[in-house]
Structure 1
């Protein structure tokens, strides 16, 4: 790997000013890397806003808290399971658990604490949405093992990171379920696309230690692959809008996010150490544009 890749051990902002142990715990939950909880949060917003019950600011505040806590808990769990693999990858070798700065018992305690915050958020939902949210736990628990058994762990992540769309919609309405299914499937394909971009950073080390990824599987065709997944996402989001509204004009709400995803693909340079990370992080804006499209369609 090149020295330009930003290691996960690098701390920034307020986290950099904390004493060593709180800093390690904050890093373990990726509090200094908000892109992860933004990507978990935006499908929740899309589900809420497409449901057509207005802004729902209080509900979205709870979803944001839940996204931060549960993304943190997921990262802690992932680092516990992957500690041995992380030591072999340049970008992750100095993560708190992999490096030994945080013991596994302490990491488990931290995971439980973060999960309790998520449980408080869960209690704010009606029982139907609670059941939908709880159904994701099996997918979350299995995710760290997917990179060992399939070339497409990004597909599993797509199922996990898109789950908030199901929860947000179910909190506010029921049918048409087919529109929700299309929204969820589109978010899953979007996730595969952006996480493939993220995986470009680790291709050399992943190949050496036996970690599988869609970036390795697609090889030289990775740009075309990402374009296909993004195109599929846009097609499914358009289907969701059509099933909900049946109005060609409503589809134009997707033009901003379509343009943004096209820009990502056209400017993606897999050979540049910094470019994939920047394009991956740009998906915080793609998620915002998707959510805004859902608000326009659902509440117009």
Structure 2
């Protein structure tokens, strides 16, 4: 194990030991794709599950396996692209200065090659989808390409991320049905608000550095009202999810399926402490469980 490994691994890595045991080049590539931080692909994958299960297609475990592979590969590709674009900014932020491209450990040429390899895996997954779902998936590429630039032009890059990171909901739905679009739109809107909420929590880690280098974020824009803002986003998410479920299945009993995820999001808000450096990251990571609880609700509503 390299003596440099502990400082190479970013502060919010979830698997420092595993990444640190890799040789230098594979370790840098793994970190570039954020394989050491699986929370990202969980957050990308769960909306795919929501779309499949809410569509009433049953378990569909084989398809979910492909969508999981696609989530891991395309989240990795998005991170590589983001790091290529943001290398100069990353060098100025304490939490991101050690990233492989920003630190110079991985050249831009190598990063582009790694990006292509991950996209080829994504293409393999794309070919497993029916034509309509393929078109929906491809429609996300423009949003993905534009995302790294949003933090330079708007205080709400989290809103753009909300559209990008929940696109799998539309793909999962389109794989099995193309009707009930108002219900789908409501659930998608709620999912985007969920992303704005949790990414605002995540952005709390970088507020001081972001302000110094001119990076914009919802956490900075909300200022002292950040907890109230997150609460509002989460409340809006639950409200739109409830509307979507009602449009899909006008049954008050079905709405009860949302109570566990609503309770979890309320817990995040009540226990959020922006002044504690560790607290926002813990609350952000807990959204993998929020995604699981919402997945359970979608299965109950779509397949009961």
Question: Residue 64 of structure 1: which of 48, 64, 68 is its match?
Answer: 68
Give the stretch that moved more between structures: 140-149 or 7-16. 7-16
Question: Residue 221 of structure 2: which of 217, 233, 244 is its match?
Answer: 217
1:7 CA drift (Å): 2.5
1:15 CA drift (Å): 1.7
- Secondary structure of 1:172's aligned partner: coil
**In structure 2, distance between residues paired with 1:61 and 1:294:** 18
Answer yes or no: is the 8 Å Cα contact 2:13–2:37 preserved in 1. Answer: no
- Secondary structure of 1:31's aligned partner: coil
Alignment of 1:85-234 (within 5 A): 85-234=89-238
Equivalent in the alignment of 1:81: 85
Give the stretch that moved more between structures: 87-96 or 9-18. 9-18
Q: Does 1:38 find its partner at 2:48?
A: no
**In structure 2, distance between residues paired with 1:253 and 1:83:** 43
Superposition RMSD in Å? 1.0
The size of the alignment, in residue pairs, is 295
Answer yes or no: is the 8 Å Cα contact 1:151–1:214 preserved in 2. Answer: yes
Q: Against the structure 1 CA distance between its residues 226 and 9, is the aligned structure 2 distance closer, same or farther, given a 3 Å change threshold?
A: closer
Question: Residue 235 of structure 1: which of 234, 239, 246 is its match?
Answer: 239
1:298 CA drift (Å): 0.3
1:10 CA drift (Å): 8.5
Equivalent in the alignment of 1:14: 18
- Secondary structure of 2:175's aligned partner: helix
Answer yes or no: is the 8 Å Cα contact 1:9–1:92 preserved in 2. Answer: no
For structure 1, which runs of at least 5 residues remain unmatched after alignment? Answer: 1-5
Give CA-to-partner distance per residue, 1:176-207, whole Å, 9 cap, x none: 11111111111100000000000000000000
Answer yes or no: is the 8 Å Cα contact 1:148–1:211 preserved in 2. Answer: yes
Q: Does 1:289 find its partner at 2:298?
A: no
1:9 CA drift (Å): 7.4
Equivalent in the alignment of 2:253: 249
Answer yes or no: is the 8 Å Cα contact 1:269–1:276 preserved in 2. Answer: yes
Answer yes or no: is the 8 Å Cα contact 2:151–2:215 preserved in 1. Answer: yes
Equivalent in the alignment of 2:5: none
Provide the TM-score with structure 2 as the length reference: 0.96
1:219 CA drift (Å): 0.2
Provide the TM-score with structure 1 as the length reference: 0.97
Question: Residue 23 of structure 1: which of 18, 22, 27 is its match?
Answer: 27
**In structure 2, distance between residues paired with 1:71 and 1:10:** 16
**In structure 2, distance between residues paired with 1:242 and 1:218:** 32
**In structure 1, distance between residues paired with 2:185 and 2:68:** 22
1:14 CA drift (Å): 2.1
1:12 CA drift (Å): 1.2
**In structure 2, distance between residues paired with 1:151 and 1:138:** 20
Give CA-to-partner distance per residue, 1:115-169, whole Å, 9 cap, x none: 0000000000000000000000000000000000000000000000010000000
